[in-house]
Amino acid sequence: MDGGNSGDGAAGSSSSPLGGAPPSGGTSSTGGTDGPGPSGGVSSGGATVASGGQPSGGGLSNRGGAEPSGGTSNRGGARSSGGTGPGGGTSATGGTSANCTDIVPPGNDSCANAVEWGWCTADWIGDYCAATCGRCGSTSSGGTGSGTGGSATGGGSASPTGGTGSGNLSVPRLNGGQQASTTRYWDCCKPSCAWRANAGGKNPATTCGKDGNSTVGEDARNACESGGTAFQCNWGVPWQVGPSLSYGYVAFNSGGCGTCYQLDFPNGKTMIVQAINIGAMSGSNFDLLIPGGGVGAMNACTQNGAMWGNVDAGVQHGGFLASCGPNMSCITDMCRNAFGSNAALMAGC
C-alpha 15/C-alpha 279 separation (Å) is 14
Whether the predicted pLDDT of 226 surpasses 60:
yes
Average pLDDT score over residue span 286-306: 90
C-alpha 154/C-alpha 273 separation (Å) is 21
Residue 196 main-chain phi, psi, to 5 deg: -55, -35
When pLDDT is cut at 50, 70 and 90, the band that residue 91 belongs to is: very low
pLDDT in tens, 103-142: 876 555 578 776 766 777 765 677 778 888 887 754 333 3
H or E element at residue 348: helix 343-348
% of residues, the chain, pLDDT over 90? 46
pLDDT in tens, 197-224: 999 999 999 999 999 999 999 999 999 9
Whether the predicted pLDDT of 297 surpasses 90:
no
CB 322 within 8 A of CB 311: no
User: What pLDDT is stored for residue 123 in this prediction?
Assistant: 59
Whether the predicted pLDDT of 269 surpasses 90:
yes
> Of 67-81, 175-189, 276-290, 302-316, which range is least confident?
67-81
C-alpha 222/C-alpha 321 separation (Å) is 27
Average pLDDT score over residue span 187-199: 97
More confident residue, 97 or 295: 295
CB 94 within 8 A of CB 149: yes
Choose the catalytic residue: 187, 219, 312, 333.
Answer: 187
Average pLDDT score over residue span 310-335: 95
Whether the predicted pLDDT of 240 surpasses 70:
yes
Whether the predicted pLDDT of 59 surpasses 60:
no
> Of 69-78, 180-189, 326-335, which range is least confident?
69-78
Whether the predicted pLDDT of 298 surpasses 70:
yes
Whether the predicted pLDDT of 348 surpasses 80:
yes
| Averaged pLDDT of the chain | 71
CA 52 to chain centre: 17
Report the SS3 class of residue 305.
coil
% of residues, the chain, pLDDT over 70? 59
Cα-based angle 200, 201, 202 (whole degrees, multiple of 5)? 95
> Of 13-27, 97-111, 184-198, 206-220, which range is least confident?
13-27
- Written as one letter, the residue type at 147 is G
Whether the predicted pLDDT of 149 surpasses 80:
no
User: What pLDDT is stored for residue 115 in this prediction?
Assistant: 75
Average pLDDT score over residue span 316-327: 95
pTM tops 0.75: no
**Is residue 34 annotated as a catalytic residue, yes or no?**
no
Q: DSSP 3-state helix, strand, coil percentages of the chain (rounded to 5)? A: 15, 15, 70
User: What pLDDT is stored for residue 112 in this prediction?
Assistant: 79
How crowded is residue 14: how many other Cβ atoms within 10 Å of its Cβ?
12
When pLDDT is cut at 50, 70 and 90, the band that residue 10 belongs to is: very low
